[in-house]
Structure 1
Amino acid sequence: MKKYQFEVCANSVESCLAAQAGGADRVELCAGIPEGGTTPSYGEISTARDMLTTTRLHVIIRPRGGDFLYSPIEVRTMLKDIEMARQLGADGVVFGCLTANGEIDLPVMQELMKASQGLSVTFHRAFDVCHDPEKALEQIIGLGCNRILTSGQQATAELGIPLLKTLQIQASGRIILLAGCGVNEKNIARIASETGIQEFHFSARESIKSDMKYKNESVSMGGTVHIDEYERNVTTAQRVINTIQAIKS
C-alpha cells in the first residue's frame, strides 16, 4: 500500500491542534488566508510549536498578499522571518519568488535557500502562476527544495490533474509534488489515482459562528471589503479524518 502524507493548511493554533487530532503528518501555519496566506506572528508560531507533539510544523514565509515579485526590503523581511521560524523550532518553511516575467527568481531563491539550511523547504503556489512549469520544476529541483505545492496551474488540484500527472512523471522522484487547493474527501482518491502523487495539502475547515452577543454589523474592519467578522473558518479533526480515510478506504 502506498505511503501517503497529509498536510493541513492551518490558519491558527486551534486549526493546528485539530489537524494533529485528525492524524495530519504536517501543518502549514499561515495568517491572512483571504490573501492566500501570509507569515504568521511570532506568538502564533511559538504557541503552535509548544503545543504540537506529533505533527510537523511548517511556516509560510510571505510578507504580503498579491504577486510573488518581491522588493529588496521584502526579501530582507523574509530572511528575518526564516530566522524567526528556525529559532522557534519550525521543521520547515514555505516560500516562492518569481521575476516580472513569471520565471523563478533564482538569485532571491538562492538567498532564501541559504538562510533555510537545515529546514525542509516547500516552494509554494507561486509555481501555479509561473510562465513555464516544466522549466520551473527543473530549476526548483536545482535549488534543492524538498517539495512543490501546486494545483497544476488550475483553480483546483482536481482541475489540474493533467499537468499534475505530467509533472509527477517529470519529477521522477527527484522532488515531492504536494497537490493542494480544493482537495477534500470527495476528490482526494481521484487525484491520487490519476496523478500518482502521494502528498496532499488541504484545509478541512468549517465555519464557526462568533460567540459575540452584541454585534455592530454596519462596521467592517476591512474598510469597503466586507467579510463576515462574526464567523470564522477553523479546521476540524473530523474533516481531517474523513479526508485521510477517503484515500485509504
Structure 2
Amino acid sequence: MLKEVCVENFAMIPEKIAKGAGRIELCDNLSAGGTTVSHGVALKAIEYCHSKDIKVMSMVRPRGGKFIYSIEEIEIMKHDLLHLKQLGTDGVVFGCLDHTGWIDEAAMAALLELAEGVEITFHMAFDQIKPGKQLDAIDWLVKQGVHRILTHGGPLDFGIEHHLSRLKEFIDYAAGRIIILPGGGITRNNLLSITTVLNVSEVHGTRIVD
C-alpha cells in the first residue's frame, strides 16, 4: 500500500517518511486546500525526498478558493510548473475548471503540454465537476495521459466513509486506465477498512501515517 502524505512545507517531511510515507504531495497553505510552495521549500524538499528514494508530487495552484482561473493565473501556473520540473519534481498536481462545472480544457491542455515527462495528478477540483459529468471527465483525463485523479468522492462536508460507493464507481469505471486516488479524511485508524472496500493500492492524506 503506497501512502501519499500531503505535507505543508518542509518541516514535517523527515518525520512522515520515517513513519512510512511512500510519496510526498508537497504544498503550502493546507487550510486553503493547498497552494504552490516557495522555491526554497521545493528545492530542499525534493533534495531530501530523493535522498530517501521518495517521489515528490508538487502542487501547482496559485491560490485557494475555486478552481476557475484567470488568464494571468494560468500563466503563473505555467511558470511554477516549469520551475518545479527544473528542480526535479517527480510529478505535478493541478486541476482547472470552467464556469459550467466542466474541465477547462484549454487551460489543462496548456499545462499538460508543459508537464510532459513527469507524473500528473488531477486534484480535488474533480469533486467540483458536476456529478453527471464526472465519468466523462475520467475519460477526458485518460485521453490526455493524466496518471491519477485525487478525489474525496463527494463533498468534503461529509466523511469519506459516506462516499465509498461513489469512489468504487469511479474505480470500476476507470478500469485501470487511470489511478483513482482516494483522499480527504483517510487516517491510520480507518485506512484498512477503506482500502478493503475500495481495493486500491494508493491512498492520500495528511494523517495516514500518524
Return the TM-score normalized by structure 2. 0.94
Partner of 2:151: 150
Q: Could you say what the CA RMSD is over the residues aligned between the two structures, in angstroms?
A: 1.2
Cα drift, residue 134 of structure 1: 1.1
Partner of 2:184: 181
Partner of 1:40: 37
How many residues are treated as equivalent by the alignment? Answer: 204
Where do 5+ consecutive residues of structure 2 fail to align? Answer: none
Q: 1:162 aligns with which of 141, 165, 170?
A: 165
Deviations 1:118-137 (A, max 9, x none): 01000000001111211111
Tell me how far apart the structure 2 counterparts of residues 87 and 39 of structure 1 sit (CA, whole Å): 15
SS at match of 1:154: coil
Partner of 2:64: 65
**Runs of 4 or more consecutive aligned structure 1 residues displaced over 4 Å after TM superposition:** none
Q: Which moved more, 1:152-161 or 1:29-38?
A: 152-161
Cα drift, residue 10 of structure 1: 0.4
Answering whether residue 124 of structure 2 is matched by residue 125 of structure 1, we say yes
Bigger share in helix? 2
Answering whether residue 188 of structure 2 is matched by residue 191 of structure 1, we say no
Return the TM-score normalized by structure 1. 0.79
Tell me how far apart the structure 2 counterparts of residues 13 and 55 of structure 1 sit (CA, whole Å): 14
SS at match of 1:65: coil
Where do 5+ consecutive residues of structure 1 fail to align? Answer: 205-238, 243-249
1:127–1:153 Cα contact (<8 Å) kept: no
Tell me how far apart the structure 2 counterparts of residues 49 and 75 of structure 1 sit (CA, whole Å): 24
SS at match of 1:128: helix
SS at match of 1:84: helix
Larger radius of gyration: 1
1:168–1:196 Cα contact (<8 Å) kept: no
Identity of aligned residues (%): 36
1:149–1:178 Cα contact (<8 Å) kept: yes
